[in-house]
């Protein structure tokens, strides 16, 4: 967090107005992020490029998103989409921060330097989806045995030991 | 144990020795079966029933069984829950730390076949008997605490058929209780209702 105390925000009456307050705050402080902002599932959403990802996360933290919720990944075939969940008690809303990484080079900068809580979450995404978090202090498998081969939640994962479910079940 | 092994081998060979052996077996089996301390290997949801089992409502202690968190104090490992491939070495290691004679109870479908994780799963071991010698299987998802307690009673019967001498067993009937067996109907809900209604109507009238 910055040393300066963030400017006080008006008390929102409901979720819709707190999103408006968030949009105004975002647009006034970071006009470049303003066109990327949208509303999803009654929360804010930002879709940024891979290169922008770390700096955007830092800006959001500065703006008042002090709590890291989780990070997960979606396999869309050619790309993986990374979804970060951030929460703000200042605005009273959550934020989806999304970015895409290509399948042939699945790597992204870590955010453990901003939120230490993302350590194990990034290890989980690495373990099951095979996305490398560059700069992570301890990038090892977390759920699967250390000698596991492959990344099971990828759509193209194949394991001879898996018994496919028959149609009649 | 080496002394017992040598002794039982010798007894089997000398004439009349089996008479002594049988009495020793009877004593050993009785004492082994009466207080089976449990290693609660609760790895998933079945563990809730295992925990419920040892508290006052179901009271496992009346069968001489109660959970100990240390494998070195226990006789029977109760596997309650899904065993993942990552957990498997830990379970095996805990089993190896238990002193002989030791027994394994597989509680719940997950420990019998992998249960609901049998198909389409990359991470679950399909049954504890892939790597441990299971003595009693209790089906259910999860089994009720009564079923687990019945499983311990069945294990006790199984222990009573074993002998100190390797390879020697007693003939015991381990079939399911028939209608006129003394164990019949003890878990039958309809019979319980019948008993209760006759008791309450008798008391209030
Ligand atoms: S058998 Fe059912 S209740 Fe028991 S661990 Fe498996 S899924 Fe859970």
Per-residue pLDDT tens for B8-51?
Answer: 777 777 777 777 777 777 787 788 888 889 999 989 999 999 99
Lowest mean pLDDT among A1-5, A58-62, A164-168: A1-5
Half-sphere exposure of A114 toward its Cβ, with a 13 Å CA cutoff? 23
> Token pair for residue B196?
């209760």
Q: How far is A158 from chain B (nearest CA, A)?
A: 9
Contact state of B118 with A163 under an 8 Å Cβ cutoff = yes
For residue B64, is pLDDT > 60? yes
Q: Rounded distance, CA B47 to CA B41, Å?
A: 8
Residues having CB closer than 6 A to ligand 1 are B 44-46, 81-82, 108-110, 115-116, 141-142
Q: Rounded distance, CA A124 to CA A116, Å?
A: 14
Contact state of A163 with B123 under an 8 Å Cβ cutoff = no
Sign of the dihedral through C-alpha B29, B33, B38, B42: positive
DSSP code of residue B169: B
Rounded to 5 degrees, what are φ and ψ at B162?
Answer: -95, 160
Give the residue with greater pLDDT, B162 vs A137. A137
Q: Which of B108, B112, B117, B126 to mutate to test the pocket of ligand 1 (most atoms within 8 A of CB)?
A: B108
Q: How far is A129 from chain B (nearest CA, A)?
A: 14
Residue B203: per-residue pLDDT: 43
Whole-angstrom CA distances from B145 to B27, B50, B83, B107, B142 are 29, 7, 20, 10, 9
> What's the pLDDT band for B192 if we cut at 50, 70, 90?
very low
Lowest mean pLDDT among A95-99, B83-87, B172-176: B172-176
- Most A-contacting residue of B43, B116, B123, B127 (CB-CB within 10 A), to test interface: B123
Q: Estimate the share of chain B in helix, then strand, then coil, as percent rounded to the nearest 5.
A: 50, 10, 40
Q: Rounded distance, CA B176 to CA B71, Å?
A: 31
DSSP sequence for B113-125: T-GGGSSS-SSB-
Average pLDDT estimate for A147-164: 88
Residue nearest to atom 3 of ligand 1 (CA): B142
Place of tokens 């809900």: B189
For residue A102, is pLDDT > 50? yes
Quick check: A155 contacting B, CB < 8 Å? no
Residue nearest to atom 4 of ligand 1 (CA): B46
Q: In a 3-state reduction of DSSP, which class is residue B144?
A: coil
Average pLDDT, whole number, for chain B?
80
Sign of the dihedral through C-alpha A62, A66, A71, A74: negative
Whole-angstrom CA distances from B50 to B13, B34, B78, B139 are 44, 19, 8, 14
Contacts of B200 (CB under 8 A, 6+ apart): none
Going along chain A from its start, the domains and CATH numbers come out as: 15-106 (3.30.460.80)
Contact state of A145 with B118 under an 8 Å Cβ cutoff = no
Rounded to 10 degrees, the C-alpha dihedral B109/B111/B113/B115 comes to 40
Query: Which among B85, B86, B119 has CB closest to A163?
Result: B119
Residue nearest to atom 2 of ligand 1 (CA): B141
Q: Given its phi and psi angles, is residue B70 left (phi above 0), alpha (psi -120 to 50 degrees) or beta?
A: beta
Per-residue pLDDT tens for A4-37?
Answer: 666 666 655 565 678 888 888 888 888 888 888 8
Residue A74: per-residue pLDDT: 94
Q: Rounded distance, CA B77 to CA B75, Å?
A: 7
Residue A129: per-residue pLDDT: 92
Quick check: B123 contacting A, CB < 8 Å? yes
């Amino acid at each position: 967090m910055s040393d300066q105390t963030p400017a006080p925000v008006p008390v929102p009456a409901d979720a819709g107005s707190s999103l408006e307050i968030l949009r105004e705050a975002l647009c006034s402080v970071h006009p470049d992020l303003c066109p990327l902002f949208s509303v999803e599932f009654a929360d804010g959403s930002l879709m940024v490029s891979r290169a922008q990802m770390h700096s955007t996360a830092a800006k959001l933290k500065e703006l008042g998103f002090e709590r890291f919720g989780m990070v997960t990944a979606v396999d869309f075939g050619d790309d993986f989409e990374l979804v970060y969940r951030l929460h703000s008690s200042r605005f009273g809303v959550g934020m989806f921060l999304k970015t895409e990484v290509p399948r042939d080079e699945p790597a992204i900068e870590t955010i453990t330097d901003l939120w230490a809580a993302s350590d194990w979450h990034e290890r989980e995404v690495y373990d099951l989806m095979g996305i490398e978090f560059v700069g992570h202090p301890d990038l090892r498998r977390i759920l699967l045995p250390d000698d596991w081969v492959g990344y099971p939640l990828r759509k193209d994962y194949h394991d001879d030991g898996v018994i496919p479910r028959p149609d009649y079940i | 144990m080496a002394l017992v092994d040598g002794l039982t081998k010798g007894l089997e060979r000398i004439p009349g020795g089996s008479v002594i052996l049988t009495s020793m077996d009877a004593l050993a089996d009785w004492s082994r079966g009466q207080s089976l301390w449990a290693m609660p290997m609760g790895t998933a949801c079945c563990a809730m029933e295992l925990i419920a089992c040892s508290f006052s409502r179901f009271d496992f202690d009346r069968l001489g069984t109660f959970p100990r968190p240390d494998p070195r104090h226990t006789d029977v490992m109760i596997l309650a829950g899904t065993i993942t491939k990552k957990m498997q070495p830990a379970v095996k290691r805990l089993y190896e730390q238990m002193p002989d004679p030791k027994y394994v109870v597989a509680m719940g479908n997950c420990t019998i076949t992998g249960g609901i994780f049998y198909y389409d799963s990359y991470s679950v071991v399909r049954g504890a008997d892939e790597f441990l010698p299971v003595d009693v299987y209790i089906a259910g998802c999860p089994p009720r605490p009564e079923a687990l307690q019945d499983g311990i009673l069945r294990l006790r019967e199984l222990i009573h058929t074993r002998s100190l001498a390797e390879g020697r067993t007693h003939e015991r009937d381990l079939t399911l209780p028939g209608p006129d067996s003394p164990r019949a109907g003890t878990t039958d809900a309809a019979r319980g209702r019948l008993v209760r209604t006759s008791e309450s109507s008798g008391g209030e009238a």
